Structure 1
Amino acid sequence: MKPNYRRCISCRRVGSKEEFWRIVRIFPSGKVQLDQGMGRSAYICPETDCLQAAQKKNRLGRSLHGTVPETLYQTLWQRLTESNPQNQI
Structure 2
Amino acid sequence: MKVNYRRCISCRCINHKDKFWRIVKVYLSQTVQLDKGMGRSVYLCPKKACLAVASQKNRLERGLKTSIPQNIYKKLWERLENESI
TM-score scaled by length of structure 2: 0.95
Match of 1:84 in 2: 84
- Over 6 Å off, 4+ runs: none
1:18 matches 2:6: no
Radius of gyration: which is bigger?
A: 1
Point out where structure 1 has 5 or more consecutive residues left out of the alignment: none
Point out where structure 2 has 5 or more consecutive residues left out of the alignment: none
Following superposition, the deviation at residue 29 of structure 1 comes to: 1.4
- SS of 1:6 mapped into structure 2: strand
Match of 1:38 in 2: 38
* C-alpha RMSD of the superposition: 0.9
- SS of 2:15 mapped into structure 1: strand
Using the aligned pairs only, state the percent identity.
52
List aligned pairs for 1:33-72, cutoff 5 A: 33-72=33-72
2:3 and 2:24 map into 1 onto residues whose CA distance is: 21
Following superposition, the deviation at residue 28 of structure 1 comes to: 2.0
